[in-house]
Amino acid sequence: MKRVFKIVGLVLGVLVTLVALAAGVLIALQPERPPARVSRPQVVMRDGVRLAVDVILPEPMPAERVPVVLFQTRYWRSFATIFPDQPGVPPIGPRDASVDALVAAGYGVVVADVRGTGASGGTWPRPWSSDEVADASELVAWIAAQPFCDGRVGAAGVSYEGTTALLSATTTNPALRAVLAREVEWDLLDELLAPGGVRNTSFIAAWGEDVASLDNNRVAAFFPAPAKYIVTGVHPVDGDEQGVALAELVEARRVADVAGAVVDVRGPADLFAGVPVTEVGPAAHADRLAQTKAAVGLWGGFWDAATADAVLRADGAMPLAEAVIGPWTHEGDASASPFGPREGAAVDLGEVVAFFDRHLKGTAPPAPRRRYWVAGAEVWREADAWPATRPATYSLASGGQLVRGEAPLDARLDVDFAATTGTTNRWVTGLLRPVDTGDRAKARGLLSFAHAPLGETLSVFGAPVLRCQVTADGDDSALFAYLEARLGDGPTGLLTEGVVRLRGGAVEVRLRPIAFELPPGSSLRVSLAGADADTFERVPAEGPRSLAFAAPCTLELPVVVQ
């Protein structure tokens, strides 16, 4: 018996050690946390729904009242863990690291679980429902009325939280002075759910499972691995420290089936959880966003899904005080440029703080209105407007050539439905995966057209367009187009891509916006495929498919006017 107790003791000791190590890893993944005062009240909405919030104030307060920045999340505002809370520091959570940076800079921060998620009441039927958008305005009003707030309110966030921040600008409350939204979609249909009318199955299935886990108060798959050992769920609100009311709320919660809600969404008339998909996301609120009095900053990434598209589309629909398109991954902590990481490529949290210093405090100098990363040159460029461009046309020609001017083309692609860009591409960055921008020639099932080495510098900004005559041997198919480049004798990397559902005849594929500069001796390549098995639905759903290409088949590049 003593031996049994000894073995049990050893096992428990190992488990305790593993848990402690996991806790250390999780805490190490968090930024250095500044001193803070934390409270967890509930805010009652117009319909009686109670939203759970974390109020995080700097300690000591730099003044009796401070400007406050709002974050609205559906990924839990903070964690409950197997360890006691640490008083005097911001809580650990899946939040963006800019929360702690703002607190350290003397801002108050309020992080809210959006309705129907985390420890908040109500129902979450789909992203950014009309009730959720209206809640943002009430949260802004509540914050502005608190004794710790000086009446100046900002909103910020990345990804889903970035979209809630952007949608907060629909409020007419003058207390909202500044909004910084990062890595968001403007047109949810084209930029995430079904680009070009081809359904993005990979992201939606995984994201749907993750948010369902969260709404059942379980750790999501995309959380850091140590979280499953020490995180017990979302943090309860004040007065419910044992989580009794939280457990009852979760038990009664109706958890949405996200993947099921969009299984038939491919076009603007299709429904997302009972409403037209065009009514979901920022583009649906363009009229109100165009009237905002807040200073709005929007950041996106050239290889982060279609968030660069979101920046450019929003810039044409509403006033943006500042717009940035970088090379970074979804979280902004690394470069996704195909030509390698460079110093200064990741998001600098000091720039997040500086944005609010400019527009909430008025203590930072003005910034350039437009800023963007140039692949190839691997530098930032900035100005008050995006660069002017002119079209330059290249033809896909027989023999696998890409040439200037007109050229004959007679080519055939027998679709390989196992062809793939892999499981780490631009469309799954929102699941916190890395971005592979490697050589597409290593993939299978491609039809490629290469250009001779360039004789002069080629500088591009914007969305390339492929126009082709395509004949398919069936009624339904898809065409994927990839634009690649090689710097001198270096490796080939993927610059941008596009996809469209084909019905035959003349087809136009709009590739995602990109900025690049290739020196003389570099080369371009266009590759075509009929499938991306790990990311998009199979088109057609069954059976073979063959695509025939004929001239004119051109690639139009938006070349920067020097």
Q: Backbone phi, then psi, for 53, in 5-degree steps?
A: -135, 150
Question: What pLDDT does residue 303 have?
Answer: 96
pLDDT tens across 499-513, in order?
A: 999 987 899 999 999
Number of other CB atoms surrounding residue 221 within 10 Å: 14
Question: What pLDDT does residue 22 have?
Answer: 46
Q: Backbone phi, then psi, for 110, in 5-degree steps?
A: -120, 125
pTM reported for the whole predicted model: 0.93
Number of other CB atoms surrounding residue 312 within 10 Å: 20
Judging by DSSP bridges, how do beta strands 458-462 and 492-502 pair with one another?
unpaired
**Checking phi first, is residue 388 left (phi over 0); if not, alpha (psi -120 to 50) or beta?**
beta
Question: What pLDDT does residue 32 have?
Answer: 67
Computed on alpha carbons and rounded to an integer, the radius of gyration of the chain in Å comes to 25
pLDDT tens across 429-441, in order?
A: 999 888 888 877 7
Question: What pLDDT does residue 9 have?
Answer: 36
Question: What averages of pLDDT result for each successive group of 10 residues across the chain (562 residues)?
Answer: 33 40 47 87 98 97 97 97 92 89 97 98 97 98 98 97 98 97 98 97 95 97 90 97 97 95 96 96 98 98 97 97 96 90 85 97 93 95 97 97 96 95 92 84 86 96 97 94 92 94 90 97 96 96 96 98 90
**HEC string of 417-430?**
CCCCCCCCCHHHHH
Structure tokens at 457: 């510098």
Residues 81-86: contacts with CB under 8 Å, at least 24 apart: 81/23, 81/230, 81/231, 81/232, 82/19, 82/230, 82/232, 83/23, 83/230
| Torsion of Cα atoms, 116 then 122 then 124 then 129, to 10° | -130
Question: What pLDDT does residue 18 have?
Answer: 44
Q: Using CB atoms within 10 A of its CB, is residue 540 exposed (0-12), middle (13-18) or buried (19+)?
A: middle
Q: Are 55 and 38 in contact (CB under 8 A)?
A: yes
User: Which single residue is written with the structure tokens 């109500």?
Assistant: 122
**Spatial distance between the Cα atoms of 313 and 341, rounded to a whole number of angstroms:** 27
Q: Which of 130, 161, 154, 165 is nearest to 47 (CA)?
A: 130
Question: What pLDDT does residue 14 have?
Answer: 36
Residue type, 390: R
Q: Are 215 and 122 in contact (CB under 8 A)?
A: no
